[in-house]
Amino acid sequence: MENFTFRCATKTIFGRETEKQVGQEVKHFSSKILLHYGSEHIKRTGLYQTVVDSLNEAGVSFIELSGVVPNPRVSLVRKGIELCRKNGIDFILAVGGGSVIDSSKSISAGVPYDGDVWDFYIGKAKPQNLLPVGVVLTIPASGSEQSDSNVITNDDGQIKGAFGHPDMRPVFCILNPELTFTLPSFQTACGCMDIMAHTMERYFTNSKDNSFTDRLCEATLKTIIYNLPIALAEPENYDARSQIMWAGTIAHNDLVGTGRIGDWANHIIEHEISGLYDIAHGSGLAITFPAWMKYIYKHDLSRFTQFAVRVLEVEMNFENPERTALEGIRRFEAILHEASLKTTLSGVGIVDDRFEEMASRCTENGSNTVGQFVKLTKQDIINIFNIAR
């Protein structure tokens, strides 16, 4: 088991109608804020008005910035930074999913900084004094409501960048599963894939003797696998939505990564896919993960047989453990198909003309490899793309 420091200071407020508490929670930090969100969907559902009423009742004034899109853009972040500076804003309230939260985090880091916010994503600078961020979550997926990191897309070149900071975790997150009832099936499925991916990036590790964290990962994965089809069939099933929402938060607040070194190759590879082709992050992960598994499973056959037996409930074949591992991969891919997620690049309209370009962009990091479980070279990534084609 590796040494670790675990800290998650985000206050969690979970349950029905908890969004009505947002004004009082914000008031602890500021009376003048940026209200940041994506589309008009939150107005159609009534969430926007509930949030506004709560802020008004608490005496909190706000400036609005909408327009966040999936794979959020740095151009909107820059606009948010200028709004905050111009209006003396010192708190950001994110109402939405991971894209809105990540955009809010980027703004929070950029406001006190003299240079361009993209400097953080290319390693040119490190943030110093971040503005606090609060969250009303509408899409369980990214785990950004408690994570210490964010991902933003640069409009110039469609390049995705990421960075983290210990003070980037939101000061509070409000989680009402009822707010997810209206999510389209595709968005629900993509969100669950993202949750599983965050867990598997930590589960597939070379760190040994860490059975407790293994079990945390396995419980998270099994929770999603069990509840995803229920949520798809019964969108307003509160119990299923509750399990998914809380699992999504736990999957990325670092708890399921304690005592181990995670991999993260799939996220790096997928960022190139969604950066260039602007597909949903969860959709991209549904493509990369099965292909990656097929390519590297022999690296640690025992880990893949454990995954198959404990998570996918495959009967262990002691005479031929490789069959057990492969059956686990097959069942995992079948779960994605049942949720109507594509597991090939061609399935989402991506052809093979940019495989080398994407692989090159993945490995332009000084080490020329990505991942920790298996260090993948440019050619390895091209091979994975070919499996996924």
Q: Write the DSSP string, 176-219.
A: -GGGGTT--HHHHHHHHHHHHHHHHHHHS-S--S-HHHHHHHHH
pTM, rounded to two decimals: 0.96
| Cα separation, 195 vs 229, whole angstroms | 15
SS3 call for 102: helix
Token pair, residue 30, equals 């500021």
Residue 338 makes CB contacts below 8 A (sequence gap 6+) with 229
Instruction: Specify the pLDDT at position 367.
Output: 82
pLDDT, position 366: 73
Rounded Cα distance between 136 and 55, Å, is 13
**pLDDT reported for residue 346:** 97
CA 51 to chain centre: 24
Spatial distance between the Cα atoms of 29 and 31, rounded to a whole number of angstroms: 7
Compute the distance between CA of residue 41 and CA of residue 232 in angstroms, rounded to an integer: 20
CB neighbours of residue 16 within 10 Å: 12
Domains of the chain with bracketed CATH? 11-179 (3.40.50.1970), 184-388 (1.20.1090.10)
Tell me how far apart the alpha carbons of residues 323 and 188 are, in angstroms, rounded to a whole number: 31
| C-alpha span between 285 and 302 (Å, rounded) | 23
Q: Quote the pLDDT of residue 157.
A: 78
| Residue 206: per-residue pLDDT | 98
CA dihedral 307, 311, 312, 317 (to 10 degrees): 50
The token pair at 96 is 């939405």
Which stretch of DSSP H or E encloses residue 92?
strand 92-96
How big is the CA angle at 343 (ends 151 and 246), to the nearest 5 degrees? 50
pLDDT of residue 214: 98
Digit-by-digit pLDDT tens for the chain (389 residues) are: 999 999 999 999 999 999 999 999 999 999 999 999 998 899 999 999 999 999 999 999 999 999 999 999 999 999 999 999 999 999 999 999 999 999 999 999 999 999 999 999 999 999 999 999 999 999 999 999 999 999 999 998 788 999 999 999 999 999 999 999 999 999 999 999 999 999 999 999 999 999 999 999 999 999 999 999 999 999 999 999 999 999 999 999 999 999 999 999 999 999 999 999 999 999 999 999 999 999 999 999 999 999 999 999 999 999 999 999 999 999 999 999 999 999 999 999 999 999 999 999 999 877 899 999 999 999 999 999 999 99
Contact 197, 266 (CB under 8 A): yes
Residue 365: the pLDDT is 75
d(CA 106, CA 299): 37
